Amino acid sequence: MFKGQRKYIFIFAGLFIAIVAMQYLLPKPVNWSRTYLNKDKIPFGCYAIHNLVEGTFSDKLINNNQTLYNLKDKLNGNSSVILINKNINLNKNDVKSLYQILEQGNTVFIAANSFEGLMADTFHLETSYVFFDYFTSIDSLINKPGSQIHLTASNHVNKPYSYSRMAWISSFTNFDSTSFRIKATAGKNKTCLIERKVGKGKLLLMSAPDIFTNYFIVNNTNRHLPYAIFSSIKNKNFVWDEYYKTYNVTNESFLKFILQNDALYTAYLLLLFSIIMYMIFEGRRRQRAIPVLEPVTNSTLDFVNVITHVYYNSNNHQNIAAERIKYFYENIRKKFNINTNEINDVFIREITDLSGVDFKIVRQLFNYCEKLKNAPEISEYDLIELNRQITNFNKNSLR
């Protein structure tokens, strides 16, 4: 298919490599996606706090990529499960497993802007947030003052933690105040952290997951707030959940990896476009090139031309006259079917009758031919005169 079209392959390959290199070398734009993944070093990833947990707030850290139903049998009653995501929506089995985990004596800490589905119904939870901030650019929110979080513990009551509006901090507008205890507020009459005992365990719910992300941990004065929250959790075996994340990438495919990388995605589109263009313009059947054939030359005329020049340049007028007379007589025999061996009045009369040329002209012509045939030497003038008379006879002859 690519025979004779190697130049297109080199062009497409060169463009592919150039675009990949250009995209790779260009400054990477900041990814503001709220992934909360423990491997992400983007502003709203949890790489920093995840690496601080083990050794600082816990003796052991386990990453979980399974449901609560599969996790409950692996806990020993002295563990703390950490779930951080934009929203939490547990099904019936998840809620039932959550209760079982808590009743074993484990601690479950869940941070999310909204609690939905069966979990919200079970614990009578409602959260609210200023929704117009969802549609505002990050740059415009960085310097805008937002919420102030106060911990209710006596040793933190006079330590407000101020956050810009870039941090999505919602509040609980409804919860069972008889079973939940307020642990932190995000303003007047705005609760953002509540705690409840379930069996032997403890459930903590927070409506500000952004405070645990890299942006508010690395070189940020407010990093002491998540430190204080994790320090209050007594169980020292932490289980970090990655299963209930919105950006869960456990089942990552090769194509998904390409589509998530800007340089590879651009190169992938270029490759598809190049293939389509090649199929349109070069994929059709190509006609074999038509060879250029030189016209056939008339070699007879060339031969005659060469011979005449040879005769003329040799100045042998007698031979030329003899050949001219021989050819003329042969032509007479073919046209008039008359024997030319004997030239007399009868012969001349027959030629006159058959050709329609005047008798005197015919007689003069043949007498001149016979004279030149027997002449020992012929001049150039004689040769020209012979040719003139023969040409004149052929021109006026009826045949």
Spatial separation of the C-alpha atoms in residues 84 and 46, rounded to whole Å: 9
Among candidates 68, 172, 33, 178, which has minimal Cα distance to 115? 172
Compute, in degrees rounded to 10, the torsion defined by CA atoms 150, 153, 158, 160: -20
The answer to whether the beta carbons of residues 368 and 389 sit under 8 Å apart is: yes
What is the rounded end-to-end Cα distance, in angstroms, of the chain?
67
- Give the pLDDT band (50/70/90) at residue 2: very low
Compute, in degrees rounded to 10, the torsion defined by CA atoms 128, 134, 137, 138: 50
Spatial separation of the C-alpha atoms in residues 4 and 21, rounded to whole Å: 28
The answer to whether the beta carbons of residues 43 and 65 sit under 8 Å apart is: no
Percentage of the chain surpassing pLDDT 90? Answer: 36
Token pair for residue 329?
A: 């007589």
Give the per-residue pLDDT at 15: 82
Flag whether pLDDT at 138 surpasses 80. no
Q: Where are the alpha helices (DSSP H) in the chain?
A: 6-25, 47-56, 68-71, 92-103, 117-123, 138-141, 224-231, 254-260, 262-281, 299-314, 317-336, 345-355, 359-374, 380-396
Half-sphere exposure (CA, 13 Å, Cβ side) for 397? 18
- Give the pLDDT band (50/70/90) at residue 137: low
Percentage of the chain surpassing pLDDT 70? Answer: 92
> C-alpha distances in angstroms, 305 versus 224, 302, 325?
112, 5, 19
The answer to whether the beta carbons of residues 398 and 335 sit under 8 Å apart is: no
Spatial separation of the C-alpha atoms in residues 346 and 353, rounded to whole Å: 11
The answer to whether the beta carbons of residues 350 and 342 sit under 8 Å apart is: no
Is 154 or 359 the better-scoring residue by pLDDT?
Answer: 359
**In terms of C-beta distances under 8 Å and separation of at least 24 residues, what long-range contacts does 155-163 make, across chains too?**
156/228, 159/224, 161/211, 161/222, 161/224, 161/225, 162/222, 163/210, 163/211, 163/216, 163/222
Give the per-residue pLDDT at 212: 95
- Give the pLDDT band (50/70/90) at residue 1: very low
Give the per-residue pLDDT at 19: 80
Give the pLDDT mean for 272-285. Answer: 77
Flag whether pLDDT at 175 surpasses 60. yes
Spatial separation of the C-alpha atoms in residues 58 and 236, rounded to whole Å: 4
Give the pLDDT mean for 34-47. Answer: 92
Flag whether pLDDT at 91 surpasses 70. yes
- Give the pLDDT band (50/70/90) at residue 172: very high
- Give the pLDDT band (50/70/90) at residue 202: very high
Give the per-residue pLDDT at 197: 94
Read off the amino acid at residue 237: N
Residue 133 is given by DSSP the state G
pLDDT single digits (tens) 221-244: 899 999 999 988 887 789 999 999
pLDDT single digits (tens) 331-384: 989 988 888 888 888 888 998 988 889 999 989 989 989 888 888 888 888 888
Spatial separation of the C-alpha atoms in residues 263 and 25, rounded to whole Å: 10
Give the pLDDT mean for 28-33. Answer: 83
Place of tokens 């190509």: 286
The answer to whether the beta carbons of residues 65 and 94 sit under 8 Å apart is: no
- Name every residue whose Cβ is closer than 8 Å to that of residue 216 and which is 6 or more positions away in sequence: 163, 167, 210, 222, 223, 226
Is 267 or 98 the better-scoring residue by pLDDT?
Answer: 98
Spatial separation of the C-alpha atoms in residues 235 and 77, rounded to whole Å: 9
Give the pLDDT mean for 306-319. Answer: 76
In the chain, the domains with their CATH numbers are 47-246 (3.40.50), 299-396 (no CATH)
pTM, rounded to two decimals = 0.59
